[in-house]
Amino acid sequence: FQPKVLAGRRVLITAGPTSEPIDPVRVLTNLSSGKMGYAIARAAAQAGADVCLVSGPTALPAPYGVTRVNVQSARDMLRAVEAEVARADVFVAVAAVADWRVKTTSTSKLKKVEGGGLPRLELETNPDILATVAALPDAPYCVGFAAESENLDEYAENKRRRKKLPLLVGNIAQDALGADDTVLVLYDDAGRQPLPRLPKQEAARRLVGEIARRLPLG
């Protein structure tokens, strides 16, 4: 039995990695299975929400009842989010967005030269999708994720303040990557609230309940 705590709400979620092209056969990317974001999308749909999942490349099927928009790069992801955000009540940014992209993508495959030098890849910074959405005048309720390898409390609170988020969810990166269970810690104005170690789908269900409880009535 699943209470419909998000009935009538529209939830926009980013998930998975982004993939930034170097040339036609090579990319820069992050390690992200997409499991956590997809679990949240599934839990939100089961809680009655109308869910749009903007996903980078993953091996996962779209959860039942969820509208998926497939993207590759961070800039594609931002465009897809911008096209949907005005209708969203909640935005949950779970994607592991690549921090940098290659400035000039080669249209042909970079060749290895016998005994030759290395290709020079110039990088530039990708947009911060979550910070962009959180800064909108009519922003939905924004939830961020922070996967950190150490000092979770400090980094998570800093990130929450810097990106101006009502709620940030922390987890320990070595622990969460590709795994099926996870420990989530919620940070909001009231402080720090750890959830127990749970399978990702159950952690997602709990998180959806915590988000629903915090939403303004409407």
| Out of 145, 160, 170, 187, the residue judged to bind ligand C5P by CB under 6 A | 145
CB of 146 to ligand C5P, least distance (A): 5
Alpha carbon of residue 127 to chain centroid = 14
Report helix, strand or coil for 128: coil
Residue set of the binding site for CTP: 99, 109, 127-130, 145, 159, 163
Taking the C-alpha atoms of residue 21 and residue 127, their distance in angstroms, rounded to an integer, is 16
How far is the first Cα of the chain from the last one, in angstroms, to the nearest whole number?
24
Query: Which of positions 148-167 make contact with ligand C5P (CB under 6 A)?
Result: 159
Whether the CB-CB separation of 30 and 17 falls below 8 Å is answered with yes
CB of 126 to ligand C5P, least distance (A): 5
Active-site position among 30, 70, 126, 151: 30
30 is catalytic: yes
> From residue 40 to residue 79, what is the string marking binding to ligand C5P with x (rule CB under 6 A)?
----------------------------------x-----
Residue located via tokens 């127990």: 196
Query: Which of positions 85-104 make contact with ligand C5P (CB under 6 A)?
Result: 93-95, 97
* DSSP codes joined into one string, 153-196: HHHHHHHHHHTT-SEEEEEEHHHHTT-SEE--EEEETTEEEEPP
Residues labelled as active-site residues: 30
Site for ligand C5P, rule CB under 6 A:
14, 74, 93-95, 97, 126-130, 144-146, 159
